[in-house]
Amino acid sequence: MNLNDVAAFIFVLILVGMFLGTILFFPIMRKLAALLEQKLQNRLPDDVLVKELRNVGAALQTLHRQVAQLSERQARIEAQLPDAERLRLPVGTGKD
| 21-64 tens-digit pLDDT | 788 888 888 888 888 887 777 766 667 777 888 888 888 888 88
pLDDT score at 92 = 61
pTM: 0.43
**Over pLDDT 70: what percentage of the chain?**
79
pLDDT at 78 over 60: yes
pLDDT score at 29 = 84
- Count the helix, strand and coil residues of the chain and give each as a percent rounded to the nearest 5: 80, 0, 20
Query: What does the alpha-carbon distance between residue 40 and residue 38 come to, in Å, rounded to a whole number?
Result: 5
The domain ranges of the chain are 24-87
